[in-house]
Amino acid sequence: MKLTGRKIYKGKVEGEAIVTSSSISFYGGVDPETGTVVEKGHELEGKSIVGKILVFPTGKGSTVGSYVLYQMAMTGKGPKGLILNDCEAIVAVGCIIGDIPCVDQIDTSKITTGMKLILDADNATVEAF
């Protein structure tokens, strides 16, 4: 399956999908030291996003979230790439400063956790196996 969206930040990565239908607040919602989702009641609470391609509808919360994404990228505790329905400013800025490949305008309901993905942000495509 090949999906086409919009490039937010460049790069090409391969990895395993971790998918949620809930939006994510990186500041407060994800622990940057462990790369684990910690927001109470979140679908991914307790799950690690380290080295995965994170698939989610959109970002939310404090703009400090951009720095959290950056911090995780720099310390190797972050996702390899991001795929969203609608990217907003917090996630976009986090990807730009953290050098994290990212595309949006993807129907994320077509992707399920555990799928192998090739995220080619330069061509704004996602291949799922």
Partner 1 sequence: MELTPEEQEMVTGKFGKATQKAMEILVTLGEIYGAKRLINITSVQVAGVSYANLNEPGLKWLDEMAKDGKVKILTTLNPSGMDLEDWRKLAISEDFAKNQLRVVDAFGKMGIITTCSCTPYLYGNLPHFGEHIAWSESSAVCYANSVIGARTNREGGPSALAAALVGKTPEYGFHLEENRQPEVRVNIKAVVKGTYQFGALGKALGDKLGSKITYITGIPKASVEELKSFCASYATYGGVALFHMEGITPEKVQKMPDETVEIIKEDLNKALSELDEDTEIDFISLGCPHASLAELEYIAKKLEGKKVNSKKEVWITTARPTKQIADRMGFTKMIEDSGAKIAADTCCVVAPIKGRFHGLASDSAKMCYYGSGRNKFSVKLMSMDECLEEALKL
User: What is the pattern of x (binds partner 1, CB under 8 A) and - over residues 71-110?
Assistant: x--xx-----------xxxx-xx--xx------x------
Among 4, 28, 112, 113, binds partner 1 (CB under 8 A): 28
22, 62, 66, 109: which is the annotated catalytic residue?
62
In Å, what is the CA distance from 108 to each residue of 21, 46, 63, 64, 75? 8, 21, 23, 25, 27
- 21 is annotated as an active-site residue: no
Q: Which residue has the tokens 């090409």?
A: 12
Q: Which residue has the tokens 């991001």?
A: 82
DSSP one-letter string for 25-37: -HHHHEETTTTEE
| Cβ within 8 Å of residue 41, ≥6 positions away | none
Task: Pick between residue 32 and residue 111 the one whose CB is nearest to partner 1.
Answer: 32
Task: Pick between residue 118 and residue 124 the one whose CB is nearest to partner 1.
Answer: 124
Contact 53, 115 (CB under 8 A): no
Task: Pick between residue 6 and residue 47 the one whose CB is nearest to partner 1.
Answer: 6
* Footprint (CB under 8 A) of partner 1, residues 31-70: 32, 63-67, 70
> What positions carry a catalytic annotation?
62
